[in-house]
Chain A
Amino acid sequence: MRRFVLIAIPYVWLLALFLVPFAIVLKIALSDAAVARPPYFPQFDWAEGIAAFIAELDFENFVWLTEDDLYWKAYLSSLKIAVISTFFTLLAGYPIAYGMARAPEEWRPTLMMLVILPFWTSFLIRVYAWMGILSNEGFLNQFLMWIGVISEPLTILNTNSAVYIGIVYTYLPFMILPVYSALERLDGSLIEAAEDLGCSRLTAFWLVTIPLSKTGIIAGSFLVFIPVLGEFVIPSLLGGSDTLMIGKVLWEEFFSNRDWPVASAVAVVLLLLLVIPIVLFQRNQQKQQEAEQ
């Protein structure tokens, strides 16, 4: 009995907070938009019965997603932004994690604290701060003009570059932490052994350090990639009108067009797209655990 209760807790949790909301969203996605409250049709009616209700649902909205090229362009563009920004986050995060893992032991908690510290400030405030840095009269342009690198201010804000900067900045800790934990466990004598067997510092890094931190790299990349794919705040605050991301499209369908069924269909497709990397991510975690045993 106790075992049953213990197992039931996570299942009830998943059912109540994931499956039921998903079923509701899916139901809305299969409905039609209507000028009503709530703004979709059909509504479930006890008198007519469940069969009649289901008969009124259809896949019209999903078909619509394939007909208007806005949607698949938004999906593709989100994918592209997610891939590129994950790459840059890795490029920035790996050296930081490497430096932390190589730092003297007594420094490491402090460095770790510095990585986590930004989370103590509201995410929105930090993104607004970037608007102040990147705008035409912002700190970055003022600084570059002051040291004489440029004479005209650069337009960074409201472009894709600003979106990349914002994403890399925001998601950096999610990359650093798993890579750091993989590198910290790395036995230093392995590097010495590689050098002893004829590797230069660089080849030892390439042949030993990188392969042995692979699990951390994969974990970090998924932790960045998955949320960035559906990211909404950063592109809408830092991006321009030509920044196309599915999160933004979803928001506009929902709030501007008040087309809940189409917005729900967009969300359902996004979720299905995310299931693939999430499954891959979990398989990686599993493999890592098996390797450690």
Chain B
Amino acid sequence: MTASVFEPWNDPEAKPLIHFQNVTKRYGEFTAIDNLTIDIYEREFYALLGPSGCGKTTLMRMLAGFETPTEGKIFLAGQDIAPVPPNKRAVNMMFQSYALFPHLSIWENIAFGLKREKMPKHDISDRVDEMLRLTRLEKFARRKPHQISGGQRQRVALARSLAKHPKLLLLDEPLGALDKKLRQDTQFELMDIQEKTGTTFVIVTHDQEEAMTVASRVAVMDHGKIIQVASPDRIYESPNSVYVADFIGDVNLIEGTAKPNGNEAYAMSWHEGHEPLTVKSPNAFSDGQKCHLAIRPEKVAISAEKPADADNAVQGRILDIAYLGNISTYHVELPTGAVIKAQTANTRRIARRAYTWEDTVWLSWTATAGVLLAD
């Protein structure tokens, strides 16, 4: 199988399904969405990620039609959707609380939207059965929502919102109410269903792991602005700001000043009396510019002896060890007082580990391991 890479956002010819044009939403004095412009393409699984209060839910509710922008326009398939009420939009939403109708059976819940379309009876029945099969709920069709488990309810909500063949499906923290194990299984199920139906999904979440797992692109938001939109690996590997680096995953941030040192290479002085760090960065920095080196813990190697040919090596003392079974995270205190986290896979039995608490160890990383970010 030679699947071409799905990256419509890199194709200048591609027409976005959704286009936000300088959208601003204010509630009195409070600005929930601040002059925001984004494109979402067909068949995308687009994640809006951010802390609570960052405006991601407002953004989603504007797509559903429950809120209207104060300024700017939203286009769905080229059409301004501001005057279209929620019940006339080809957009369906899966609510955080699932919002299943407690007085209706699972079957009737899924059929609810279809009945409003005045669809012929046998077509409704076919479509509901299809959705029940897709979400593996055939056995529960006659039950009421309070008679099934949380995971099943989540699937009913998904089936109900997909039944009407929406152009766009909005998912508001869809897995928030499930426990961790179920959540992981459900994430893959969601991706599967998204692929099978070919529907565009926009998911709102504050769980970065969830966003990284399911999404084709992740939009990191803060204070009503989009900070970065990129595929999960790019968000993780090349964050464009300290905020994104810090929000997604674990990161070590080392402050210093940059000094150009050859082609895309910089010597970053970070503490007096210590050798400057060697860093490669495609972003240009001027001489003496303040900057942060963001480096992921798993990209920092830890060893008892000084490694021979490392680009960067610093000595420190192990302060703490977080043992997670498959991996361990070491908190190493440098002589400067800064604490650097290093993560390694536990490939050896714990009894055979060469270092433990209070031991002096060497941390090392390559010039390309970290990302140099402006202040």
Q: Least Cβ distance of A200 to chain B in Å? A: 6
Whether B116 lies near A192 (C-beta < 8 A) is: no
Q: Which of A187, A199, A214 contacts B99 (CB 8 A)?
A: A187
Whether A193 lies near B103 (C-beta < 8 A) is: no
* Docked complex Cα distance between A239 and B117 (Å): 51
A195 is an interface residue with CB less than 8 A from chain B: yes
Report B-chain residues with C-beta under 8 Å of the C-beta of A203: 116
Q: Least Cβ distance of B331 to chain A in Å? A: 43
Report B-chain residues with C-beta under 8 Å of the C-beta of A195: 85-87
Whether B87 lies near A192 (C-beta < 8 A) is: no
A212 is an interface residue with CB less than 8 A from chain B: yes
* Docked complex Cα distance between A88 and B107 (Å): 36
Q: Which of B86, B91, B101 contacts A208 (CB 8 A)?
A: B101
Report B-chain residues with C-beta under 8 Å of the C-beta of A193: 93, 95, 99, 101
Q: Least Cβ distance of A218 to chain B in Å? A: 14
Report A-chain residues with C-beta under 8 Å of the C-beta of B113: 197-198
B313 is an interface residue with CB less than 8 A from chain A: no
What's the interface size class on B, roughly?
Answer: 20 to 34
Report which residue of B93, B99, B112 has the largest number of chain A beta carbons within 10 angstroms of its beta carbon: B99
* Docked complex Cα distance between A203 and B86 (Å): 14
* Docked complex Cα distance between A208 and B100 (Å): 11
Report A-chain residues with C-beta under 8 Å of the C-beta of B87: 195-200
Report which residue of A189, A203, A291 has the largest number of chain B beta carbons within 10 angstroms of its beta carbon: A189
Report B-chain residues with C-beta under 8 Å of the C-beta of A291: 102, 146
Number of A-B contacts (CB under 8 A): 58
Whether B112 lies near A194 (C-beta < 8 A) is: yes
Whether B164 lies near A197 (C-beta < 8 A) is: yes
Closest to A293 in B: B146
**Given A187-B99, A192-B86, A208-B101: A197 touches B112 (CB 8 Å cut-off):** yes
B323 is an interface residue with CB less than 8 A from chain A: no
Whether A198 lies near B99 (C-beta < 8 A) is: no
* Docked complex Cα distance between A199 and B113 (Å): 8
**Given A198-B87, A198-B113, A199-B87: A212 touches B93 (CB 8 Å cut-off):** no
A103 is an interface residue with CB less than 8 A from chain B: no
Whether B95 lies near A189 (C-beta < 8 A) is: yes
Whether A189 lies near B103 (C-beta < 8 A) is: no
Report A-chain residues with C-beta under 8 Å of the C-beta of B95: 189, 192-193
Whether A189 lies near B86 (C-beta < 8 A) is: no
Whether A196 lies near B93 (C-beta < 8 A) is: yes
Whether B103 lies near A211 (C-beta < 8 A) is: yes
Whether B103 lies near A192 (C-beta < 8 A) is: no
Whether A197 lies near B116 (C-beta < 8 A) is: yes
A190 is an interface residue with CB less than 8 A from chain B: yes
Closest to A214 in B: B103
Whether A189 lies near B99 (C-beta < 8 A) is: yes
B92 is an interface residue with CB less than 8 A from chain A: yes
Report B-chain residues with C-beta under 8 Å of the C-beta of A214: 103
Interface string of A177-210 (1 = CB under 8 A from B): 0000000000101101111111110010001100
What's the interface size class on A, roughly?
Answer: 10 to 19
B357 is an interface residue with CB less than 8 A from chain A: no
Report A-chain residues with C-beta under 8 Å of the C-beta of B92: 196-197
B97 is an interface residue with CB less than 8 A from chain A: yes
Q: Least Cβ distance of B90 to chain A in Å? A: 10
* Docked complex Cα distance between A214 and B96 (Å): 25
Report B-chain residues with C-beta under 8 Å of the C-beta of A189: 95-97, 99
Interface residues of B in 109-155 (CB under 8 A from A): 112-113, 116-117, 146
Closest to A204 in B: B87
B160 is an interface residue with CB less than 8 A from chain A: yes
Report B-chain residues with C-beta under 8 Å of the C-beta of A208: 101
* Docked complex Cα distance between A214 and B161 (Å): 26
Q: Least Cβ distance of A273 to chain B in Å? A: 31
Closest to B112 in A: A197
Report A-chain residues with C-beta under 8 Å of the C-beta of B164: 197-198
Report which residue of B101, B117, B146 has the largest number of chain A beta carbons within 10 angstroms of its beta carbon: B101
* Docked complex Cα distance between A212 and B86 (Å): 22
Interface string of B290-330 (1 = CB under 8 A from A): 00000000000000000000000000000000000000000
B214 is an interface residue with CB less than 8 A from chain A: no
Closest to B64 in A: A196
Report A-chain residues with C-beta under 8 Å of the C-beta of B188: none
Closest to B118 in A: A198
B243 is an interface residue with CB less than 8 A from chain A: no
* Docked complex Cα distance between A210 and B97 (Å): 20
* Docked complex Cα distance between A208 and B86 (Å): 16
B66 is an interface residue with CB less than 8 A from chain A: yes
* Docked complex Cα distance between A202 and B196 (Å): 35
* Docked complex Cα distance between A192 and B64 (Å): 10
* Docked complex Cα distance between A190 and B145 (Å): 13
Q: Which of A192, A194, A200 contacts B66 (CB 8 A)?
A: A192
* Docked complex Cα distance between A197 and B103 (Å): 16
* Docked complex Cα distance between A253 and B96 (Å): 64
* Docked complex Cα distance between A196 and B99 (Å): 11
Whether A212 lies near B97 (C-beta < 8 A) is: no
Whether A190 lies near B86 (C-beta < 8 A) is: no
Whether A212 lies near B99 (C-beta < 8 A) is: no
* Docked complex Cα distance between A189 and B102 (Å): 12
Whether B66 lies near A197 (C-beta < 8 A) is: no
* Docked complex Cα distance between A189 and B85 (Å): 16
Interface residues of B in 61-93 (CB under 8 A from A): 64-66, 85-88, 91-93
Whether A197 lies near B102 (C-beta < 8 A) is: no
Closest to B144 in A: A291
Interface, chain A (partner B; CB < 8 A): 187, 189-190, 192-200, 203, 207-208, 211-212, 214, 291
Q: Which 3 A-B pairs have the closest CB atoms?
A: A198-B116, A197-B113, A193-B99
Q: Can you name 11 A-B residue pairings with CB atoms under 8 Å?
A: A190-B99, A192-B64, A192-B66, A193-B93, A193-B99, A196-B93, A196-B161, A197-B164, A198-B87, A208-B101, A291-B102
> In the complex, given contacts A196-B93, A211-B103, A291-B102, what are 18 additional A-B residue pairs having Cβ atoms less than 8 angstroms apart?
A187-B99, A189-B96, A189-B97, A189-B99, A190-B101, A192-B93, A193-B95, A193-B99, A196-B65, A197-B87, A197-B92, A197-B112, A197-B160, A197-B161, A198-B113, A208-B101, A212-B101, A212-B102
